[in-house]
Every structure is written in C-alpha cells, then in structure tokens.
Structure 1
C-alpha cells in the first residue's frame, strides 16, 4: 500500500465533548474514539472545526491530541488540525503535534487574512519544510473566505513530498476533477461534506472526512465500502438514506446539531462553547423529525 492509500476511506472529524462545568468530558471522548474504531473507520481527526479547536486552551489542545494518539495510534490514522491564520504559529503548532505522535496535520487556509494564492503557497511551503509528517490541505471557503485553487494545490503537492492530500469542503463536486487533473492520481482528495460523498467518490475522491460518523460511523463506512466493492446500488441506497440527516446536522452551526443528536443517544452532553450556542427550539424540532425518519430508514438498509 502506498503511503497516500492509508488515508482512503472514512475519517471521523471528532467532536470534543464537554461536561456541565465546561471541562472536557474525557470518558465520553474515549467512548467516542472506541466506537469509531469498532466501526472500522480509517482515521480520526481531532481538534478540527468539529472539535471546536478554536475554543480550546493550549493545554486542552495538547491533552486532546495526546489522548487521541494514546487511545488510537496504530488502530487508525491520527490527524490533528494545526492551522492558524499566522504562518509562524502554524509552523510551531504543527511541530508540536508531530512530536506528540500525530500522523498527519490538517491545515486550514488562513482565515480572516484572506491571502492571495501566492500567499497560500508560501504559507504551506513554510509548514511543509518545517516538519516531516504528512500534510492535508483544508479548503473550506465558507468558513475562511478563501479557496485553494487547483493550480495552487498542484504546485504544493508537486514541490513538497509531504503535502499528500486535501480536504475539499467547498460544496462543489466538480472540484474533484480539477484537482485530479492537476495533482495526479496519487494525491488524496477527501470529501468534507457527508451529503456529497458519493458524488465525490464517483469523480475519483478516495475518502470522506465525516461529521455524521460521530453518530453513525457504520453507515458511512458501509457506503464507502459498497462503492469500492463496485456495489453501486447499495452505495446509492445508503447515500439516499444518510443524505437528509447529514444535511440536517448543519441546520445550525456545527457541531451543535451533531452534539444534540449524540445527546439523545446519551453518548455526550450537548454543551458547546461560546460563541456557539445549543440548537434552537425550532431547529431542534426539525432535526428530530429528520432524525426519526433516518433511524427508521437506516434499519431497512442496514438490516
């Protein structure tokens, strides 16, 4: 298996569960990790957007990363978000997660600054030169205000051997074709949107970085495995089942909706940290309607 193939499949973008007092709920986090491993996910992404990394203290950030490595190293690929909107800070943070045993750094485009594509190249090359672990680029213009152009991704992956992948979360499946054409077959493209995963697979993406998998890793893994096995009808049935629910998990700002659903499962408490807020009553009602239909349909397709 080539080095890049280790990222093929479903990577769960882990939430960070909190207690009533606002502390990290470590038993809940350990249960969450174990559930993912039992379901057969390829990897675990910690301290990313879904993990509310921007609200963690430096000490908490370190604890969460080290706990993930301790619990799952060797059982799944471990990724950690280390991007900031300052190049020197991102270099420092990425060096630290390398020392802590992470396999791959997920590095979001600098937010707020909105650098040019040349600025992005300089930013990512400085990071790649400073570490030896793999780097997954993260293009999510809805949150950062800037997109990684396909030609920028190509320049980076061709000149830096440890820039091996991109998490594409711009909501446009056609980007997969552009990225593959410019970056080549060995460059890993991960879908960053559960509802678009099957379309991404069909265009040549090799995996999904999933929010839904926090609640239901089994269906995400089953859909991916069905596609890889050539069982397209099963993959389509699974996709049709999960898509409305996956979209509902963004009815309000993530990860509040997925924490709400996990709370109903008694897996975690629903708490999020400010400036995020719990799911509103109207959104909760709609989410519950979709969730109820999902659980019924899921039994049929996974029975």
Structure 2
C-alpha cells in the first residue's frame, strides 16, 4: 500500500452538523469531533450529505471545514465535502475548501441534472484542475440518479493525478472488483454503506466513510482494524454487534436517524433544516430500543476483552 493510500485507510466519519434554533451549534460540533478523535478515527468528513451540506451557506461550510481542521490538529485527515450539481459552484467549493485547510476533497456526482458519463468526466475534470488536493469521487446513485462507471473512473484517474479515490455507495459490493479491474491497484476505495464495510474490505477497499461512526466510533474503528490485522472472527463479532444500529441509521432519510440517536445519547440535538424534519415519534422510539440494545452489547463486549 502506497503512502497516499495509507492516509485513506480506516474509518472516516461523515460528520453531522448540529443545529440549535436554526443556527449551527458549534459547541456541540466541537464536542462531537473531539469524541471522534478520541476514538481513533482516521478521517473526518465535514460538510457532506450527513452534514446537510445542501442547506449550508458558503460561510457556514467554510467555518465548519476550518474548525474541523483546527480541532483535528493533524490527528486525522480532514476530507471536506465539496460537491454541487453546478460545475462552477463545485469549482468554487473546491477552492474554498482548500483555502479553509482541508487535506482532501469528497465530490459527489451532480444530483438532479443526470449528466452522461462524458459530462461526469468534464465536471470532475474542472474540479480537479481547480485545486491540487487529493479527490475522492462519490458515487451514490440512490440520491443522485447517476453512477460513476468504472471506465469513467479510470479515465478520470488517467487525466488527473489528484483524482485518487472513490466512495462507493451504490449498495453493490461487486462494484469494488469492477472498479479495481478498470482502474488498477492505484485506486483507493471506500465503502459508502456501513452495512457493507466488511464485504468491501474483503474485496480490496481500504476504509469506510461512515454514518454510524457518529454514534459508535470506537466500535467501527475496532471492527475495521480487526479485519485489517487479519482478526476476521473479531471483526465479524463487532459487525454483528453494530449491524442492528447500522440498519436503524437509515430508517428514515439520513441524517435524521443518526441525529435522533445522538440526541438520545445526549451528545447533540435532533434539529434538522428543511426540507428534512426530525424522525417521527414512532421511529424515535424504535431507535431508542435499538440504541439501548447496542449500548448493552458494547458494554458486554468490552468486558469480555
């Protein structure tokens, strides 16, 4: 594994953006970031889908990225969300994230527009030329209605040396093999689906960009590290322990459930920005039950070690 790939190895947490009375709750954000760092995550991802990037102003996004960089202090790689469905806006976001001190960029496929693969090549090419930071492509067809073809990924890597990775969130573990065959061993792959982390790792991915790590950072880190150390049985046991919580994180649109779980854990509030709303009362109760079982299992697991 080359030095660049090593920087992307492990658990990257897709950070939520806590709100209070419509404004960002920076005190809660800082505490959440410190909790992640204490758990040993390898990366922090502010201003992504889980961070409700689509509802943030440019100034809010800048502050969140800069704040994450300051808090991380080199202890974790900061990969800032910098995508939009307008190429000019994406280029602006790329430049702003670089100015704010980000180490790398996560750029989602343009949503709503449904560009062709040639359109994706032109879009990502413009973003890559706007900054020198390493770029992780983000393919999430369930939200964006377009998937990055393996051949498109290969073309982008050939044309732009700073396009080095992909976050694959299409729910198909087989894509890891197809992407690696098309792009070669130089491609860095992250699972974008928490529940597929172990299958992705087994097929050559090096890490996960995780939603559930907001709640269970230590357990996610231990699971991935166990797999990477060849401790498959331990990794599987941790996966089994986390699985129900992982499924619950998507009982409604992300990040509603994870924000509800954080609120139930007294770590931050459940507030969302429209058009998203906090989870329903019924689902909040289901989450409380799941969270209770997870907490008990995590405590028992720790005592067994």
Q: TM-score, normalised by structure 2?
A: 0.97
**Which residue does the alignment assign to 1:145?**
145
Q: Secondary structure at the match of 1:167?
A: strand
1:3-62 Cα deviation digits (max 9, x unpaired): 22201100000000011x111111111111111111111010000000001111222111
Query: Corresponding residue for 1:8?
Result: 9
Paired residues of 1:237 and 1:301 also in contact (CA < 8 A) = no
Residue 97 of structure 1 aligns with which residue?
97
- Corresponding residue of 1:232: 232
The equivalences for 1:257-296 within 5 A come to 257-296=257-296
| Alpha carbons 2:260, 2:279 under 8 Å: kept | yes
Output the CA distance in 2 between the equivalents of 1:230 and 1:93.
Answer: 39
In structure 1, C-alpha distance between the alignment counterparts of 2:299 and 2:69, rounded to whole Å = 33
Partner of 2:168 in structure 1?
Answer: 168
Q: Distance in 1 between matches of 2:123 and 2:78?
A: 23
Question: 1:261-292, CA deviations, whole angstroms, 9 ceiling, x for partnerless residues?
Answer: 11111110111111101110121222222222
In 2, Cα distance between the equivalents of 1:22 and 1:92?
Answer: 25
2:207, 2:122 → 1: CA distance?
A: 27
Partner of 1:29: 29
Counterpart for residue 248 of structure 2 = 248
What is the 5 A alignment of 1:190-229? 190-229=190-229
Query: In structure 1, the residue corresponding to 2:189 is in which secondary structure?
Result: strand
Q: TM-score, normalised by structure 1?
A: 0.97
2:65 matched residue in structure 1: 65
Q: Using the alignment, how far apart are the partners of 2:248 and 2:219 within structure 1?
A: 16
Deviations 1:60-112 (A, max 9, x none): 11111111111114111011111111111111110111111111110000001
Query: 2:182 — aligned with what?
Result: 182
**1:106-145 mapped onto 2 (5 Å cutoff):** 106-145=106-145
- Equivalent residue of 1:78, what SS? strand
* Partner Cα separation in structure 1 for residue 192 and residue 302 of structure 2: 24
Distance in 1 of aligned mates of 2:5 and 2:131? 17
Where 1:96 maps in the other structure, the secondary structure is: helix
Compare 57-66 and 174-183 and name the one that shifted more.
57-66
Partner of 2:19: helix, strand, or coil?
coil
Partner of 1:18: 19
| 1:232-274 Cα deviation digits (max 9, x unpaired) | 0000000111111111011001111111111111110111111
Residues of 2 paired with 1:73 and 1:123: CA distance?
32
Q: CA RMSD in A?
A: 1.0
CA distance in structure 1 between the aligned counterparts of 2:204 and 2:243, rounded to whole angstroms? 19
Whole-Å separation in 1 of the counterparts to 2:296 and 2:247: 17
Classify the secondary structure of the residue corresponding to 2:102: coil
Secondary structure of the equivalent of 2:105? strand
CA–CA separation in structure 2 for the residues paired with 1:207 and 1:233: 18
1:276 aligned counterpart, secondary structure: coil
Structure 1 unaligned segments of length 5 or more: list them. none
Tell me the matched-pair count: 302
Q: Which residues of structure 2 form unaligned runs of 5+?
A: none
Q: Distance in 2 between matches of 1:276 and 1:166?
A: 27
